[in-house]
Chains A and B, each alone.
Chain A
């Protein structure tokens, strides 16, 4: 099976305030269409790993492949483009641009990519919002909707450029069980209907148990 994401011996140190070996020999692969979750105690390095995998953090040793292409060592400009086109990211805190409308937030990455016309992008964005049942909020200011709705907008934004992989750092961490369940079923459907690959950090045991694979981390190592 083809890998969308692969790492070979990734090591990372924090040098301040004291030298701290936060990630130790991380080697893993995510298959196309796989829904994987990362679990582990607080401070075990899950977020740190996710930032490296999403190419936002480049201060590490080892190799990172995206769609079998080496991402490590590429210039920042190219990494930005890679991130724009191939990686969708959902944060624990639904980061939206509060001065823009919901639909504008969703459209922004696609406008940056500039592969489609404005009309097509708007159409795509409305499709994503519909799929997440929030199309009625399209014209609302992003600052004027609820937390659960914001999280769904963030998911729509992460999906707008049809990425190779969707990453989430505790995307349900701030949601109640109802909304949490809702987000899970959206992820599940994306995997099943669109063959999307997902890698999600979570503390929620139930959530993790329903994914294809759990990657367990402990003190900066993958233990299973």
Chain B
């Protein structure tokens, strides 16, 4: 049977008469939580931006033929050398095509699968961009542009022109931004390209493509699949890559495995392709939590100190309360409530300040050539972080309040009363 009204009233009186200490302690929590919210919103915003930058452009499964040597060299098939120790020197890749055999049936098969959001054919051709007497090596990717737009947000990276313009032109090209700059070309100009065999084709620039990754923008351009097939003089079923986007990214490794066996083809999944990428995100998260926890520990020590001082000052009051019938538990609750009030007020203020700073950062212009779709610093407004933040504040003040309040609980009133 706890009489909360009395306990909270005493706690409130203590806090109000010690306004300075109360404010100091609460501000400690405010800084801790404010810093946490700001950092975590910014860092995860950054993570998400970088994730989407890479992940948006990366298929979940990539099917292609790899040029590689046969696993079994012909000598191993020869009966008479069975069991012998065969040495083969100067192994060459096996005679094979980059072309995916049966590409159209595979595409049809994939498009019927419920787990597949989309499957797009690509034809990657090595070409040269001709600019006067200079030949720039690069590649031209033949794509189904509308599917690329639907699945990989390619529109975000078309900085000039439109996806539709490419679709509607027989010999249009989406030129890489780096290339356009190097060759001083712009929308509407013509660019000459040359195939490896030496055939030259003029293409019309209907758009500029900028992925934000310089290595890509300096070599890659897009054109319609049919155009590229025609340039290479290949049939309509000539496809070198199939990109698959799944409904659930998590199924990529298993599915890649199955497809690889089923179609005797190389299949890499997104986790394999982006293994290093996770590390960056993890380090940013680590920094965020390390800084926030440090600040909160400092705030916790502040609360611990202030409560300790308060209890020392209020020794007599505690003795009186106990002598007039308040139990040790009541006294502990009085001081715990003070800690929790400081934690709650400081924490909520911290959330507000954190939110304010996030909004501020969110509105700071952040324009960089590398990231064409980004205009301001990225912020992740996830309500979950606010829940974590306030829980953090309450937990740390609870721990900081526990020890001093437990001491107050055990104070022997007789010793205090005698002491005077």
Contact = CB atoms under 8 A, between A and B. Distances in A.
Interface of A: 47, 51, 54, 56-57, 76-77, 80-81, 83-85, 89, 91, 93, 95-100, 108-109, 111-114, 157, 161
B324 A108 contact: yes
A84 B325 contact: yes
B325 A95 contact: no
Given A95-B316, A111-B3, A111-B6, A51 B414 contact: yes
A4 B6 CA distance: 29
Given A95-B316, A95-B319, A97-B317, A77 B324 contact: no
Given A77-B327, A95-B316, A56 B13 contact: no
B356 interface: no
A76 B319 contact: no
B6 A83 contact: no
Given A81-B325, A100-B13, A112 B417 contact: no
Nearest to B7: A112
A83 B324 contact: yes
A91 B417 contact: yes
Given A99-B13, A99-B14, A99-B17, A112 B319 contact: no
B125 to A, nearest CB: 84
Contacts of A93: 420
B302 interface: no
A119 to B, nearest CB: 14
Contacts of B17: 99
Q: What's the dominant secondary structure at chain B's contact region?
A: helix
Contact of B325 (A91, A99, A100, A112): A112
Interface in B286-327: 316-317, 319-327
Contacts of B414: 51, 56-57
B148 interface: no
A142 B398 CA distance: 31
B329 interface: yes
A95 B6 contact: no
Contacts of B316: 95
B330 interface: yes
Contact of B324 (A57, A99, A157): A157
B328 A112 contact: no
Contacts of B323: 54, 56, 83, 89, 91, 95
B271 to A, nearest CB: 59
Interface residues of B, number: 28
A80 B326 contact: yes
B326 A112 contact: yes
Interface in B32-51: none
Nearest to A82: B325
Please indicate which of the listed interface residues B320, B321, B325 has the most CB atoms of chain A within 10 Å of its own CB: B325
A57 B324 CA distance: 14
Contacts, number: 70
B325 A109 contact: yes
B197 interface: no
Nearest to A118: B5
A91 B321 CA distance: 13
9 contacts: A51-B417, A56-B323, A76-B328, A80-B322, A99-B17, A111-B9, A112-B325, A112-B330, A114-B1
B418 interface: yes
Given A83-B323, A95-B320, A100-B13, 16 more contacts: A47-B418, A51-B417, A54-B323, A77-B329, A80-B328, A80-B330, A89-B323, A91-B417, A93-B420, A95-B319, A95-B417, A109-B324, A111-B3, A111-B9, A112-B324, A113-B325
A162 B316 CA distance: 24
A96 B325 contact: no
B372 interface: no
Contacts of A98: 317
B413 interface: yes
Contacts of B319: 95
Interface in B184-237: none
B322 A112 contact: no
Nearest to A92: B420
A84 B322 CA distance: 9
Contacts of A95: 316, 319-320, 323, 417
Interface string B322-355: 1111111110000000000000000000000000
A46 to B, nearest CB: 12
A85 B325 CA distance: 8
Contact of A56 (B3, B322, B329): B322
Contacts of B1: 114
Nearest to A78: B327
Nearest to A83: B325
Contacts of A96: 320
A108 B3 CA distance: 11
A93 B418 CA distance: 10
Contacts of B13: 99-100
Contacts of A100: 13
A83 B323 CA distance: 7
B391 to A, nearest CB: 31
A89 B320 CA distance: 10
Contact of A112 (B3, B317, B418): B3
Please indicate which of the listed interface residues A54, A93, A112, A114 has the most CB atoms of chain B within 10 Å of its own CB: A112
A77 B330 CA distance: 10
Nearest to B409: A76
Nearest to B3: A114
Nearest to A157: B324
A49 B321 CA distance: 20
